[in-house]
Structure 1
């Protein structure tokens, strides 16, 4: 029962996005892009600015790396036993190893553990993003004969992601004891607080168009 009460608020928000998409219709790609490039960076900055750097950061990094390596080994063994072609093997690794720890995970952590849990979820989301844009792109390129991605392009993509800039600014401000003016933090807090519900609305919109996309 407790689990249901934790997940239920998230599904209510998903439902609002679903109903809105069905009845009104939105350009969900634009909303999703705005959430990723304009809103998530504020949430990441606040998380790394407000929370003291501890060994917990290192533990999360080691956990993410260890989990990724273990899953890659397991999936690779399974695909070799089943003699899957390279394209299918790479697709299997991408779908099994790299998780959606942000769009759905962060809101659920918020409802389950509050703000203290969210700070760890954000850290994990940033790490997962880095892994997906390096190791993930490697396997995507490996599985596609038409891929033109290079390691240099992958690194440039990571450098251009605003959320990574926000993490650097947040950590720098904390480590060097820079005090962000109150009026700036008020703006940061407003955008950060709106990030999770916006992304959850987008997921509801995606569910509303899922059947159409599958048919197409």
Structure 2
């Protein structure tokens, strides 16, 4: 029993250590006065590297397309229920809807969730994770923008390269298609850039935030983690997901508040400092609860 517990702890540490160490590199890089053009890097990864990663992960996936369909439906249900629950919570707590609803719904599925799924479950886990990421991105770029900005458009999500990469990659997976070897090698090489860069960028973003009211932010972060975990566990079981997609769904849905929520708040005039507090508090909290979740699902 003792040996099994030690092996489990070592396995979890092997999974989470690269995630947080790469984020720490970005944090230290900025804190020591080095330059990091986060807008350029984010645009580069979200326009080229992440879509390439999504497409190649789906095209090369050796998994049942039906399992991806089931996971997609479960993910949509998770975000739908989370939206209703968080809307009611924000109303009851008398918080500003434009500031708090978006970060309480959406997690850092891209910068943190994709690498975590990859390190925990390899290419199979990554293939499932990009589905959750795509659903989140579409919901975030439509409903999320609408809430934060007071208006939005479906076209905002449709024109995102990662959405097109998901649709195209899913079509290739269903039909068993592939691209010429030189094209796939190029896209795979481009996609490999995404995971380390996203983690380093996460550390940079956290280092540059100016958080406020960290006590309330920590309380809300704990609430978000508990609610999202409960929703993912119940729906994962309810939809009968097998072990890997079930684990990936839980990890993705329960990731801490995304830096994107802060950027949207800053862009559209919500209270960006409050959101910064949520990003910092939930990210610090995730250092403790993500390893526990991994021990539960691995």
What is the TM-score normalised by the length of structure 1? Answer: 0.83
Q: Report the alpha carbon displacement of residue 122 of structure 1 after superposing the two structures with TM.
A: 1.0
CA distance 1:44–1:20, shift in 2 (3 Å): same
Distance, in Å, in 2 between the alignment partners of 1:68 and 1:179 is: 31
CA distance 1:26–1:155, shift in 2 (3 Å): same
How many matched pairs? 202
Distance, in Å, in 2 between the alignment partners of 1:200 and 1:40 is: 13
Please give the per-residue CA displacement for 1:30-88, whole angstroms capped at 9, x wherever unaligned. Answer: 11111111110100111221225522222222222222222222223333334x26xx1
Compare relative contact order (CA 8 Å, sep 6+) and give the higher one, 1 or 2: 1
Between 1:49-58 and 1:181-190, the stretch displaced more is 49-58
Distance, in Å, in 2 between the alignment partners of 1:178 and 1:115 is: 18
Runs of 4+ in 1 over 6 A off after TM superposition: none
The 8 Å contact of residues 55 and 166 in structure 2, kept in 1 or not, is answered as: yes
Equivalent residue, structure 2, for 1:35: 45
Residue 6 of structure 1 pairs with residue 15 of structure 2: yes
For 1:61, which of 58, 63, 72 is the aligned residue? 72
Residue 127 of structure 1 pairs with residue 135 of structure 2: yes
Segments of structure 1 that go 5 or more residues without pairing to the other structure are 143-148
Residue 17 of structure 1 pairs with residue 16 of structure 2: no
For 1:45, which of 40, 50, 55 is the aligned residue? 55
Structure 1 segment 13-162 matched on structure 2, within 5 A: 13-21=22-30, 22-51=32-61, 52=63, 54-82=65-93, 84=94, 88-142=96-150, 149-150=151-152, 154-162=153-161
Helix, strand or coil at the partner of 2:91: helix
Q: Report the alpha carbon displacement of residue 211 of structure 1 after superposing the two structures with TM.
A: 4.2
Segments of structure 2 that go 5 or more residues without pairing to the other structure are 1-8, 212-271, 274-298
